[in-house]
Structure 1
Amino acid sequence: MEDHNTPFYYHHPPPFVLSPPASETSSPSDSPSSTAVTSTLGFPEITKEHIDNCAFTSWHPRYRKHVPKTTIIHDVDPEFVTYLLSDGIFLPSEHRDAEWSSDSEWSDDESQNVSYAKPVESNADSDIDWDADEDEVSAGPTAVDPASAFPELHQKIKEVIDLYGAVTPKLNWSSPRDAQWITATNSLKCVTPGDIYLILKSSNFITHDLMHVYDDCISVPEQTRPDKVSLVLRKWIEFNPSMEFRVFVRDRHIIAISQRSEAFYSFLSPLKSRLSKLILSFFLDSTLKNSFPDPDFVFDVYIPKPESGRVWLIDINPFTPRTDSLSYTWPELLAISPTLRLDSPGPDQLWPEEPQFRLVSQDEGVHTFSTKPFSEHMVPSDVVEASVKGGGVGIAEFAKQWKEMLDKSETSADMRSDSQSRS
């Protein structure tokens, strides 16, 4: 599940560079954490039904009252999916004031201008070519203006933003957390359609959803891509990262809870028991325990204020190696017997036993403090510049120029070596 960095890819690298996000499922189709590892570790078999049950559009209607305000745009245009998978980043002209985030050690400049596409006519009869290889899906040399390529969707997005003020985007499963470094706010906050297009197109996790979401499913070995794609726009909320937690469920029992953030927070330890009880109560009161279709799953929650008792359901993830186990290892989680965890009060209305609950220790927090989240997905500014250039100048051209520079460097080194030998 480790990623392998490469200097040539920015938008949609080949499958082997994808790595699991902290909140979603994401992994390469040919990574070690595939079917063989799943069966070896003792995971339940991965089915298409389980993956579909964890799609936001599947579970949101059932638990709507426990989820922050959200608007779902169902079955987006095929042109939108093609746009997301195409090379380069072209934003609508109305987004002309946007800038690349300068909060990145990879950028040499204070900010970098984004390329803006000229409007072109969209092909209303076009379909998504799901049979094409990932590196063959390309917009070509012509820049596509989203406002004209899929005008109805573009207008719907504007209306939702007008309603909420700002939104956080995601597709059926993943949110583009790995690409938030590229935004002006260094967050998932989007205030224009261009913000949404920029962050979705820049995300490896989104590409995984579109290209490899059914990898390793036993029931559909030939299908790796979703039949329908929906755009989920949640009202922007400034989350306190210390209050985000991931909960692991096995046989409809909570077996473990993990802090989501990699930072150390000294005030969390005294709250541990209180937080555990809140999550356990939510698990029962929301009917999540018995109403979710699968007995094994992973869900994420946010607790704004422990004293208020309110718990928000943020996401539901598959119980598979592709889901980040955070403070645990998957072998540790699979070794926990669900029968040892008690999810309901005893006769005295006290919790007889709480599930394992891991927080980041002070030493771990110091270790991760200097590392930016998802830094493996950031790239040198030259690559970003190459990816947004139109007129056919993109990643392929950048790779060619890079190879020419390397060849020239090697030639110069050989000439110096020969000269020194003769002298």
Structure 2
Amino acid sequence: MLIQQKEISELISCSYHKIYEQFKKNCIKTYYLSIPTDVLNYLKQDLFILPKECNLHTGLSSQTENTKFIGEASNFSDEEDDDDENVVPEFPEFSKQILEILDKLGGSAFIKTNWHSPKDAFWITAGQTLKARDLSDVYQLLKASSICKEDLNIVNVENFHQIVFKKWKEIHPGTEFRCFVRNKNLIAISPRDWPQYHEHFKTQKNDIIKDIVSLFKEKIKNNFSIDSYCFDVLRETKDHVVIIDFSPFNEKFTAPLAFDWSYLHGDDIILSQNNDEEDDNPEFRYLANNDVGIQPNPRNNYGFPLDMINWFKNNSNANEQIQNLSELSIQQQADDDDEQ
């Protein structure tokens, strides 16, 4: 992906470890770790070997043990005599810091890199969740995520890349919203869970808009470093909105969800040039009742990578391993459907 210098600057402005220090009173409790060069190089590699420390701590899932992801370097190499590929990596100090943060957050966390979570790698953990409960979960999610690998390759600035740990909490998908800001005007709001139907959007529409606009005007509008950007929020109850993330106002990095980028950039949206009370009257789009039909589940966009399936096929208990993972996937899909 070709990225211009202006876009890199906007990405840096939206990096979570930067915005958290400014808006922490309105965010979920978070810790973050700078990724050392050796760990960064390890996370960028395609070879799937977990660090040695993962074998030294309890909490390893049966799924992890069955598929031999931990320290079984020879299983992932066609050249078993290649010493470089058979060396199990070690990051004792960094792994210790991860464990300390997990402990501070109550034993589990939602993790991400500077801009994205490893949502394409949920399948690899026990129970197929983004909930990181131990070292193995953290390293597995980051190693298996192509999305996070892209993040780690975008900005070549030493000591810039971070692993972000947010306190884990169960979030109803109908309480998350993406907000679009253009030239310091809040122009649009979309459910994050687009295009799923949530009945309360219709009855609470005005309150949702009012609460988000209030947070934007009071905390964000005159305090963010760039004029056009997107931000995600959580609104679980009336009058209480929490900042989840920021991202560039750019189709390369941010999904428009209920909108399209030609509309968000277009002349149909009239931007105010002052700070009077008529500013920030965003359009809130959501799936209306008469539009409800069979909607795709976003989780279906991500599944078991082909190279992982091929690896299973080269092992003696391949059929059993694939069947176990498939059953986990089906069960997780059923659980998701029950929650909606």
TM-score range, shorter chain: 0.7 to 0.9
- Once the two structures are TM-superposed, the CA of residue 366 in structure 1 deviates from its matched residue by 3.0
Does residue 155 in structure 1 map to residue 96 in structure 2?
A: yes
Q: Which amino acid aligns with 1:354?
A: N
Question: 2:180 maps to what in 1?
Answer: 248
Q: Residue 389 and residue 235 in structure 1: after superposition, are their counterparts in 2 closer, same or farther (change >3 A)?
A: farther
Q: Residue 195 and residue 302 in structure 1: after superposition, are their counterparts in 2 closer, same or farther (change >3 A)?
A: same
Query: Which one of the candidate residues 135, 153, 164 is aligned to 1:232?
Result: 164
Gaps of 5+ in 2: 74-82, 316-340
- Once the two structures are TM-superposed, the CA of residue 342 in structure 1 deviates from its matched residue by 9.1
Given that 1:89 and 1:201 are in contact with CA atoms closer than 8 Å, whether structure 2 keeps it comes out as: yes
Query: Which one of the candidate residues 79, 85, 91 is aligned to 2:38?
Result: 79
Whose helix proportion is higher, 1 or 2? 2
1:270-294 CA deviation, whole Å, 9 max, x = no partner? 10110000000000121x1011111
Q: Which amino acid aligns with 2:8?
A: K
Does residue 386 in structure 1 map to residue 327 in structure 2?
A: no
Question: 2:192 maps to what in 1?
Answer: 260
Q: Residue 226 and residue 114 in structure 1: after superposition, are their counterparts in 2 closer, same or farther (change >3 A)?
A: farther
Q: Distance in 1 between matches of 2:307 and 2:280?
A: 54
Q: Which amino acid aligns with 1:161?
A: L
TM-score, normalised to structure 1's length?
Answer: 0.64
- Once the two structures are TM-superposed, the CA of residue 205 in structure 1 deviates from its matched residue by 1.1
Q: Residue 144 and residue 291 in structure 1: after superposition, are their counterparts in 2 closer, same or farther (change >3 A)?
A: same
Query: Which one of the candidate residues 265, 274, 278 is aligned to 2:211?
Result: 278
Query: Which one of the candidate residues 287, 306, 311 is aligned to 2:241?
Result: 311
Given that 2:180 and 2:187 are in contact with CA atoms closer than 8 Å, whether structure 1 keeps it comes out as: yes
Given that 1:71 and 1:234 are in contact with CA atoms closer than 8 Å, whether structure 2 keeps it comes out as: yes
Within 5 Å, which residues of 2 pair with 1:15-414? 29=1, 46-74=6-34, 76-91=35-50, 92-93=54-55, 94=57, 97-100=60-63, 113-117=67-71, 141-145=85-89, 149-164=90-105, 165-211=107-153, 213=154, 225-227=156-158, 228-262=160-194, 263-286=196-219, 288-306=220-238, 309-322=239-252, 323-335=254-266, 336-339=268-271, 345=277, 354-362=281-289, 366-368=293-295, 371-379=296-304, 383-384=308-309, 386=311
SS across alignment from 1:367: coil
- Once the two structures are TM-superposed, the CA of residue 341 in structure 1 deviates from its matched residue by 9.8
- Once the two structures are TM-superposed, the CA of residue 305 in structure 1 deviates from its matched residue by 1.2
1:147-166 CA deviation, whole Å, 9 max, x = no partner? xx211110011011111121
Residue correspondences, number: 298
Q: Residue 258 and residue 117 in structure 1: after superposition, are their counterparts in 2 closer, same or farther (change >3 A)?
A: same
Q: Residue 184 and residue 53 in structure 1: after superposition, are their counterparts in 2 closer, same or farther (change >3 A)?
A: same
Given that 2:31 and 2:165 are in contact with CA atoms closer than 8 Å, whether structure 1 keeps it comes out as: yes
Whose strand proportion is higher, 1 or 2? 2
Q: Residue 86 and residue 310 in structure 1: after superposition, are their counterparts in 2 closer, same or farther (change >3 A)?
A: same
SS across alignment from 2:177: strand
Larger radius of gyration: 1
Q: Residue 382 and residue 81 in structure 1: after superposition, are their counterparts in 2 closer, same or farther (change >3 A)?
A: closer
Larger relative contact order (C-alpha < 8 A, sep ≥ 6)? 1
Q: Which amino acid aligns with 1:277?
A: K
Q: Distance in 2 between matches of 1:313 and 1:279?
A: 10
- Once the two structures are TM-superposed, the CA of residue 345 in structure 1 deviates from its matched residue by 3.8
Runs of at least 4 residues of structure 1 off by over 6 A?
387-390
TM-score, normalised to structure 2's length?
Answer: 0.78
Q: Distance in 1 between matches of 2:203 and 2:310?
A: 48
Q: Distance in 2 between matches of 1:245 and 1:192?
A: 29
Q: Which amino acid aligns with 2:70?
A: Y
Q: Residue 207 and residue 226 in structure 1: after superposition, are their counterparts in 2 closer, same or farther (change >3 A)?
A: farther
- Once the two structures are TM-superposed, the CA of residue 182 in structure 1 deviates from its matched residue by 2.4
Q: Distance in 2 between matches of 1:325 and 1:182?
A: 28
Question: 1:403 maps to what in 2?
Answer: none
- Once the two structures are TM-superposed, the CA of residue 50 in structure 1 deviates from its matched residue by 1.4
Q: Distance in 1 between matches of 2:299 and 2:235?
A: 24
SS across alignment from 1:62: helix
SS across alignment from 2:245: strand
- Once the two structures are TM-superposed, the CA of residue 361 in structure 1 deviates from its matched residue by 3.5
- Once the two structures are TM-superposed, the CA of residue 317 in structure 1 deviates from its matched residue by 0.2
Q: Residue 332 and residue 201 in structure 1: after superposition, are their counterparts in 2 closer, same or farther (change >3 A)?
A: same
SS across alignment from 1:316: strand
Q: Residue 380 and residue 299 in structure 1: after superposition, are their counterparts in 2 closer, same or farther (change >3 A)?
A: closer
Q: Residue 144 and residue 284 in structure 1: after superposition, are their counterparts in 2 closer, same or farther (change >3 A)?
A: same
